[in-house]
Amino acid sequence: AHRALLTVVPDTAMEERERQAELARLKTIEGKLSDDDKRKIVDDALRLKAEQEAKQDLKTLPTLELSDIPMKFENVPSRDEQLKRAKVEFYPQPTNGITYLDIRTDFSALSIEQKDLLPLFARALTQSGAAGQDYAQIAARIAAVTGGLGAAPQVQSLAASEDYLQSFVLSGRALDRNAQPFIELLTDLVAKLEIEPRRLKEIIAEISTRLETSLAGLGFNFALLRAQSKLSSEGALNDRLQGVEMLHTMRRLAKQQDLKATIANLDEIRTQLFRSSSLRIIVTCEDAMVEPLERLLSKLIEAMPADAPGEEQGNATRPSPTETAPEARIVPVPVAFNVRFFKTVRFTHPDSPALLVLSNYLRDTFLHRELREKGGAYGGYAQAGVASATFYFGSYRDPNIVRTYDVFDQAMRWVTEQPIEDEHLKEAILGACGDVDPLESPDIKGRREATNRATGFTKQARESFKQRLLQVTKEDLRRVTKKYLQDGPAVQTTVAGPDLIEQARKERPGLFQLVSPI
């Protein structure tokens, strides 16, 4: 047998070499320009600037009117059952012969250290052996009888209070004819999971490698979560589960040689999560499948461990918010991801609709032009988190840092000092209506309704919110901008390459109080 060994070594000087080559090429071109050529370049740049700042005639485009917006949300029928010790919610929908199933459980009583392991547990749950079968055999069963399985911890904001749910969700779908082997597979995973050290080491390596090689794509998400972690416990937990802290956890795990203690921890997490009394099973399926699925799910619930007599669930644990100091995180990319967060109000507060309209207005009338068209960023955002009581400005793959934070400041003055056109306000309201009432497939309808019920986003509350959206005025936009953005507390995080961060620190000393690598 013959074997070829290919060793790939990164060229650490390639980026600088390409940059110097580009500078040399530009210098060569500049040396060949005549005075007329230079004047033409300046004239073209001025014409481009004028074109970017010119008002567009939007009246030539077809548009909706506010009177076209339906005020009622669709009723999503449901059937609630108590099977053994677990609650099961059925949402009959025309699913074309597919059953969608979520097993939801509460992880709030886990310790902070155990919560840090949830992203790893989520991957191990669907990519390990179980019930005497190894990973390859379980993977073959998943491919044969399902359309895919996934698991993840979720932090879900409550509509009317400064609190949140901590839910772990195992999701899957299968053809109705495969319902029995599908649920038998889920039973084996949650009741008879077998994690081997060699397989776990592979999973850790896969997660770590994906994260390390995707920093350019994940930079905005890391900046977003890190900034939000400064405002609330909810944000801090999300950062531990999906952001910079999660990456640090995976790096620590990747260095471990002996994984026996980690495996024992993961098994304890599984036992605590999948107690039958804490299960909430969400099923979206054809109406005819409800009764057959009830019988199958009863067997799944029987296989779950029950609480011991007199045993009580532990108290919920919540991480504290991180330091509010503005920070920069260094990653090996030639761009920046800039985020500024503001603390606002929850969904049921009277000002919440105006904040959602404001985010649409700023994004469409100001930030897109200033950050993307003029600044060169791939994207410029304003987003109101009406569930999490937050509002943020953000830029994606941005060549600027200081200029972008100046644009964030200008955006607020754009609302309070410049006239707001009727057409722009209408478009912002229409966009906000689309945000709260998007088109959904049947499986999403069931899952969304289940989440709304658990978090207090009732049909009545959503219809009231939508009605208030249509009543938002120009003065409302100016008022909430001043109250929550200009006068309210703000935090910010930048994730960027070292050269951009160093340039920003020289240009504006004190912009960041903490600078460290991701």
Per-position pLDDT tens, the chain of length 518: 788 989 998 888 888 899 899 999 999 999 999 989 999 999 998 888 888 777 777 667 777 788 878 889 989 999 999 988 899 999 999 999 999 999 999 999 999 999 999 999 999 999 999 999 999 999 999 999 999 999 999 999 999 888 999 999 999 999 999 999 999 999 999 999 999 999 999 999 999 999 998 888 899 999 999 999 999 999 999 999 999 999 999 999 999 999 999 999 999 999 999 986 778 999 999 999 999 999 999 999 999 877 655 455 567 889 999 999 999 999 999 999 999 999 999 999 999 999 999 999 999 999 999 999 999 999 999 999 999 999 999 999 999 999 999 999 999 999 999 999 999 999 999 999 988 888 888 889 999 999 999 999 999 999 999 999 999 999 999 999 999 999 988 999 999 999 999 999 999 999 998 888 99
Q: Is 302 helix (H, G, I), strand (E, B) or coil?
A: helix
Strand-pairing partners, residue 106, are 167
Domains in the chain (CATH in brackets) are 79-303 (3.30.830.10), 324-517 (3.30.830.10)
- The beta strand positions in 260-389, using DSSP E, are 280-285, 327-330, 336-343, 379-385
Contact residues for 81 (Cβ-Cβ < 8 A; gap 6+): 87, 88, 89, 90, 294
Contacts 24+ apart (CB under 8 A), 474-479: 474/420, 474/425, 476/351, 476/354, 476/357, 477/354, 477/357, 477/358, 477/361, 477/415, 477/420, 477/425, 478/415, 478/416, 478/420, 479/354
Position 473, amino acid = T
Given a contact cutoff of 8 angstroms between Cβ atoms, the answer to whether 165 and 454 are in contact is yes
Residue 165, SS3 per DSSP: strand
* pTM, entire model: 0.86
Taking the C-alpha atoms of residue 401 and residue 335, their distance in angstroms, rounded to an integer, is 9
d(CA 145, CA 493): 44
